[in-house]
A and B are shown apart, each in its own frame.
Chain A
């Protein structure tokens, strides 16, 4: 062995035994839930900086919690968007529609009508209020839990269901997992199953819009868990460098399948604070407060529209359901968590605010819920006329080769011919499996 130079003047070897920290959530199945450690500051605690303020002049907003709707059902503070009651009722209706849609489609999956579904229970405000705060042609790059964007933009429920059923009328031609919508006409980008890949894409779209002197901005969403992906950090760097007109939404719903937010770094700091290192504007907001989501999105959009660059908004919320129909949250977290969440339910909170204003009542709410459920049911009937997953081939079997490229290259034509031949030799035209 070669002797190190320096000899005895080197520092002595470390004598302290090392210990590895592996995060552990506060509550596991069977545990009593106590969320008193979750700080809920008063609604007037967060200041609202001018939209032209430098991003480094309000770092405190990355650690606080922007709120508008108080737990006593009043609205206040500097961020109060002072929406008229018609708009708030519209917001309430959209959120309730998302919930009714989710409820129905979740059940459809359980009935074997499709392979997969993802609810957004408890997170409806995050997408609905954002869609209402953005212009209808601002480009959205969602993750898989922002169905509220489509519903708030008035997109057809039947069209969404056709996709969920992969049926004859599915515009995606049965190629995508249920809920991985793509709706260019609603400025809603094709959803990927790979996490946070949409982040740099949103930045690229926003950069292109700016480079072309366009007026449209981009917004994108990911979960707190997938802020750990390299794409998130690449996107933040690009957005910061070019001051891209983009809004980054981090939906901190506490859980990434079974991994609590601690596995993405929540024990050390907030997700909004990620913005500080990149020199971009950061806001941490109550994601169960539709008015706060609306106000923060409007503020971030104003910054983007005036070339002030990107904003990262952490929506502090709670995933009240499992990750998807393939998940069983009772296996890893306390069943008491959803009801104990200190920031309540976004629909109940906006409903109670409108009731407190004398602009709504329990009876009207029940009527609305019934009307929405009927509307969803009707849409479902309509969609099911086009077929449900697994009951026959809804697309021509040889259509799988189309759209890989704009023009089908020879090797795919050959494989398509091979497939036709193998099915013909087995006596199959449509339907059945090889």
Chain B
């Protein structure tokens, strides 16, 4: 075992997979010699060569379109989109091409690509380096959407995504690249060295896509979260002294609805937390599924804690971020019922 932060764990996943499978290639803006703006691909080009790890022109449409073609050839590309906020020029290639290729060709051609992209706010990135667009992708048939919350999970999930024969969107919560975040931006930041999930095996292991993790067991309320918000939720309930169960979804599509259903039926209350905008967000889907399956067990309406339906404001970042205050209010509300 080694101590890794999330970037190192992601780097290790690609390193392991490139060594195991000569068809795995890594491409994206600044990922080659430089090793990526967040250093996630550091050292890979030196180790595996320029034809397997290379910089690309600044065209996200081209990056994904080329990856789809490489996938059709038989490679297993892992393209990086430098920030999730930049992914929109690639939407047609993802939605109409990568996601539909297996279906429309009845399996003749597939797009086994894993699109890595840092997402989420809390780093003073302004509206073009802070977005959480996962709900756009969970709405598309044929795509898988994965979001890890720890270095250990990031590596195991990324390996599973690369091995998967379908296209996967792998969003990396950049606020917690270097350490877990309790939502209190004014407190000293932590790193992963003290966290149990900062222990990461150096070798191959995988975490199957579609499995949630119960990160905290409890009886009074179920909190559904993913990415950065898992840690904020954990810190909030501990501060409040609540007996809450926290489920880290890890995989939005496919969704581990059984784990969710079991927990909500046990606690009778459900709060959904995500950083993305509210309307039509993934929380709406979770809320709908929870009430469809658990209606007669619910003792309070399902609550959503989200970012607001505004662009991510630069100077007002911490007023926008669904931190401990907003989560706490929602928890108090469902517990009152």
Contact = CB atoms under 8 A, between A and B. Distances in A.
A238 interface: yes
Contacts of B108: 171, 182-184, 190
A234 B59 contact: yes
B210 A204 contact: no
Nearest to A220: B69
B250 interface: no
A236 to B, nearest CB: 9
Interface stretch (B92-100, B151-159, B174-182): B92-100
A189 B57 contact: no
A411 B145 CA distance: 14
A256 interface: no
Interface string A354-368: 000000000000000
Contacts of B97: 192, 194, 197, 201
B65 A189 contact: no
A173 B106 contact: yes
B104 interface: yes
A175 B141 CA distance: 14
Given A182-B105, A182-B106, A184-B108, A411 B93 contact: no
A192 B72 CA distance: 14
B255 A411 contact: yes
Given A180-B104, A404-B103, A204 B61 contact: no
A231 interface: yes
B311 interface: no
A190 B70 contact: no
B142 A405 contact: yes
Nearest to B72: A205
Contacts of A207: 66, 69-70
Interface in A15-72: none
Contacts of A180: 104
Contacts of B73: 139, 204-205, 208-209, 212
Interface string B170-189: 00000000000000000000
Given A404-B142, A409-B210, A201 B253 contact: no
A192 B65 contact: no
B102 interface: yes
B66 A211 contact: no
B74 A208 contact: yes
A410 B210 contact: yes
Given A172-B105, A182-B104, A184-B109, A192 B70 contact: no
A194 B144 CA distance: 22
A411 B105 contact: no
Contacts of A233: 59
Given A172-B104, A411-B255, A197 B70 contact: no
Interface string B60-81: 0110111111111111010000
Interface in A228-247: 230-231, 233-235, 237-238, 241
Top 4 A-B residue pairs of the complex, sorted by shortest distance between their CB atoms: A204-B69, A200-B65, A234-B62, A204-B66
Interface of A: 139, 141, 171-173, 175-176, 180, 182-184, 189-190, 192, 194, 197, 199-209, 211-212, 218, 230-231, 233-235, 237-238, 241, 403-406, 409-411
Given A194-B97, A204-B69, 13 more contacts: A175-B104, A182-B106, A183-B108, A189-B109, A203-B62, A203-B69, A204-B67, A205-B73, A212-B73, A230-B61, A233-B59, A403-B103, A403-B107
